[in-house]
Copies of this chain bind each other. A is one copy, B any other.
Amino acid sequence: MQSITSNQNKRVKEWRKMQSKKGRLASGQYLIEGWHIVNEAIKHGKQLKALIVTDATFLTQLSIDEGEVDTYLITPEVAKHISTTETPQGIFAVLETADYHESIPEKLGGSWLMLDNVQDPGNIGTMVRTADAAGMNGIVFGEGTVDIYNPKVVRSMQGSQFHIRLYTGNLNDWLTAFKKHNVPTYGTELNERALSYDEIASTKQFALIMGNEGNGVSKELLDKTDQNLYIPMNGEAESLNVAVATGILIFHFIK
């Protein structure tokens, strides 16, 4: 176990750089932090490129073979430096960003969620967890949507990236591919020009696009879907939170 006490250490600088998309693209790696998500990564057999702790005894509480992973003991100051939380738990791991699947699978089927320019990392993480809970096949992060490995997205996903496949891509291309494979595509609109969602029968095959918190799904994509849906609202609230709307729609579909 290597001990690191300085924020100027070369490795610490590398880990810190993983907070930015540029840094993650350069290294092909990202940092996870906290007991729950590190345990989830180990449970799902992800290869840890490094395991970083503020207390050597932490290692005994993890189901890992110490010989197979590079381990580092850091000070609380270093933990604070590489963490994006205010009170780091003192346990981190480095993973490969291997889940940046950029090409569309040759066979497409089942249920899919597409994110068009969604901005709030907390919303994105909650949407990924919801799709995961529903047992969906995959999620596509469209251009303009916050990066999959943004530290706040990673924290909010709570390990769902180990359960459900996450893709990055052009949603126009994905829509074309879904059509080719006869997967019905649905956009969501905030107004009643669309069809009420509960007029669609539950189904195992669908691709649903959720949009930006303020502006919804882009017109270009709405024009290309098989059908656009809205959620009827009897009350006065102007809109539902996008993650709540996602839950209502997905769980209606899979029912």
Contact = CB atoms under 8 A, between A and B. Distances in A.
Interface string A223-255: 000000001011111111101111110011011
A135 interface: yes
Contacts of A135: 233-236
B122 A235 contact: no
A133 B247 contact: no
B198 A235 contact: no
A201 to B, nearest CB: 13
A243 to B, nearest CB: 6
By size class, the interface of chain A is 35 or more
Nearest to A127: B244
Contact of A240 (B130, B237, B240): B130
Contacts of A134: 233-235
A115 to B, nearest CB: 15
B129 A240 contact: yes
Contact of A248 (B131, B234, B238, B248): B248
Contacts of A163: 235-237
Nearest to A132: B237
Interface in A187-206: 198
Interface in A117-143: 122, 126, 129-136
A129 B164 contact: no
Given A132-B235, A160-B237, A235-B133, A126 B244 contact: yes
Contacts of A251: 231, 248, 252
Contact of A133 (B126, B233, B246, B254): B233
A235 B245 CA distance: 19
Closest 4 CB pairs of A and B: A135-B234, A244-B247, A135-B235, A163-B236
Interface of A: 122, 126, 129-136, 158, 160, 163-164, 198, 231, 233-241, 243-248, 251-252, 254-255
14 contacts: A130-B237, A132-B235, A133-B237, A134-B235, A135-B233, A135-B236, A158-B237, A160-B236, A164-B236, A231-B251, A240-B247, A244-B247, A247-B247, A251-B252
